[in-house]
Amino acid sequence: MKRILINATHEEELRVAMVDGQRLFDLDIDTPSREQKKGNIYKGKITRVEPSLEAVFVDYGAERQGFLPLKEISKSYFKQRDNGEESSGRINVQDVLKVGQELVIQIEKEERGNKGAALTTFISLAGRYLVLMPNSPRAGGISRRIEGDERAELQEALRTLEVPDGMGMIVRTAGVGKQTEELQWDLEYLVQLWTAIDVATKDRHAPFLVYQESNIIIRALRDYLRKDIGEILVDSPEVYQTGYDFMRMVMPHEL
């Protein structure tokens, strides 16, 4: 029987092992003190609009405010004109965004030195085989690392996937050789995840963390929890609750 074993009793390290009977087939070790924020999703609030930089600064709950360039802001956040039409032509950041405005952002680059994190509103959610871009309908395709016959096979499989309108998708290298059903399962998981994130952002005012991409528990459940996993063993009540809350939000049918 395949199992996921989560060892969280040591503060210095958190270990996740995937075993099949007595055979270890994967091991992931995380150091909490080196926690990364890249990929995390927050609800933030604009604190400053800087026309000279064509950007805004966003309070998302960290000590330093994040830097959000105009080119990384979805037009869905832009103010409409008095006639109800969206702004067109050359866009000035001060005309379409305002201080106090709330938006959902993702960390694109970590804080470095005295610089805050670089942000984007174009969210990307990584699954085991796919990357979903829920508000980037024109983005997507197949990883450039995939070539030749493998690329052609994936292109054929992609034609049968049911991608929701308004969303984009990229196939990761891990998707090579996978059946259409496996890709569709991953896509449905990511759509469910985005739906849960979208709902969560409407419950509270900014700033707050919505989704922690770097959480090793979430990665393990995302990448390894399949029908052939017989059980998950956890030695920490807190970590158990983290995993349980994630599954209840995204994959309640597995509980």
Average pLDDT of every residue of the chain: 88
Counts for the chain of helices (H) and strands (E), in that order:
5, 14
Q: How far apart are CA 118 and CA 16, in angstroms?
A: 30
Residue 158 has pLDDT above 90, yes or no: no
Can you tell me whether residue 42 is helix, strand or coil? Answer: strand
Residue 147 has pLDDT above 60, yes or no: yes
Burial grade of 205 (CB within 10 A; 0-12, 13-18, 19 or more): exposed
Domains of the chain: residue spans and CATH: 1-35+214-255 (3.30.420.140), 41-120 (2.40.50.140), 125-203 (no CATH)
b/e map 22-50, b = 16+ CB within 10 Å = eeeeeebebeeeeeebebbbbbbbbeebe
Q: Highest mean pLDDT: which of 73-87, 177-191, 213-227?
A: 177-191
* pLDDT of 83: 47
Q: How far are the Cα atoms of 72, 191, 218, 251 from residue 154, in angstroms, in the given order?
A: 29, 20, 26, 26
Pick the most confident of 21-30, 117-126, 142-151. 117-126
Mean pLDDT within 168-187: 87
Task: Give the pLDDT mean for 176-180.
Answer: 86
**pLDDT of the residue at 141:** 81
Top-confidence range, 48-62, 72-86, 145-159, 183-197 = 48-62
Going by C-alpha positions, the residue among 252, 255, 125 that lies closest to residue 187 is 125
Q: Please answer whether residues 6 and 232 qualify as being in contact, where contact means their C-beta atoms are separated by less than 8 angstroms.
A: yes
Q: How far apart are CA 158 and CA 134, in angstroms?
A: 17
- Measure the N-to-C terminal CA separation of the chain; round to a whole number of Å: 18
> Cβ distance 14 to 7 under 8 Å?
yes
Model confidence, pTM: 0.79
